[in-house]
Structure 1
Amino acid sequence: MIEQLSGRLTEFGHVLPVRVYFEDTDFSGVVYHARYLHFLERGRTDYLRLHGIGHRELMDGAFGEPMAFAVRRMEIDFLRPARIDDVLEVETRTATLGGARVVLDQRILRNGEILIEARVKVAVISPEGKPRRMPKRVAERLGAPAED
């Protein structure tokens, strides 16, 4: 049940199904642009969760010192609109890993049609907000090409 709720891991990364509800739309039934951030966040969170990297465990120091992930930069291309009652798929994959960051590529699709493309740079930080190196065990679970 949890795996279904959290989507599924795939050969390229992760897929999370999301239904568009009334609360996600503007007066015309089109998804409000800021709601896509919520869908993307859920995709990233469940991608980590299914790799055994929960936010609570990170803060509790399960991988060494307590740490968290914080979005540092996000580029989004809004290609086509989603509408009320659409069933979307949020795809997430690791693009690159660096010493204190991970870059994730995300897409939101409807029936195979790409609606949103996003590139998200996420920093690894201490509970006080200071940058820190990504633990090797976390990097291994996210397995992607290392940056030069």
Structure 2
Amino acid sequence: MNSELAGRLTDSGHELDVRVYFEDTDFSGVVYHARYLHFLERGRSDFLRLKGIGHRELLDGAFGEPMSFAVRRMEIEFLRPARVDDVLLVETRTRQIGGARVLLDQTISRSGETLIEANVKIAVISPAGKPMRMPKDVLAVLKPEFD
């Protein structure tokens, strides 16, 4: 794995640089609102990857029972638009973690200006899609630094 492609861990969570391509925009060169979901997902996936928790390993049961994460709820505040060729910073922070869920705060910014704020509730599920408890090893890795 080329870790440079996965962003970087920080004291508060994870940062990922993302360039806006023409395919991310509407006819006017502004990022189409649904594309922000892709950027946020990349941030969450790479956050896990750099923490040593790959999606494939979760499904294969490397941390106990096979499991995966699924977005259960998301609130997004669209504050300012991004445009083609912008370089954006996607930040991901664990706000709270429980036995069967994770609450994340994510932002997307450009040159220090916040464009998007998102609050994400992630459920822990079995391969059959049923809720389940998070394995202790995963819980320990994802626990916020400030706890």
TM over 0.5: yes
Letter paired with 1:78: F
State the partner residue of 2:105. 105
1-side partners of 2:45 and 2:132: how far apart?
20
| Aligned positions, number | 146
1-side partners of 2:73 and 2:51: how far apart?
23
State the partner residue of 1:34. 34
2-side partners of 1:67 and 1:107: how far apart?
26
State the partner residue of 2:121. 121
TM-score (norm 1): 0.96
TM-score (norm 2): 0.97
2:143 aligned with 1:143: yes
State the partner residue of 1:132. 132
Identity of aligned residues (%): 75
2:17 aligned with 1:11: no
2-side partners of 1:2 and 1:76: how far apart?
30
1-side partners of 2:131 and 2:33: how far apart?
30
Letter paired with 2:83: R
2:39 aligned with 1:65: no
Letter paired with 1:131: P
State the partner residue of 2:54. 54
Deviation at 1:93? 0.7
Deviation at 1:17? 0.3
Deviation at 1:99? 1.2
State the partner residue of 1:82. 82
2-side partners of 1:78 and 1:124: how far apart?
27
Give unmatched runs, 5+ long, in structure 1: none
Deviation at 1:139? 1.1
Moved over 4 A (4+): none
Give unmatched runs, 5+ long, in structure 2: none
SS at match of 1:73: strand
Deviation at 1:51? 0.3
SS at match of 2:115: strand
State the partner residue of 2:25. 25
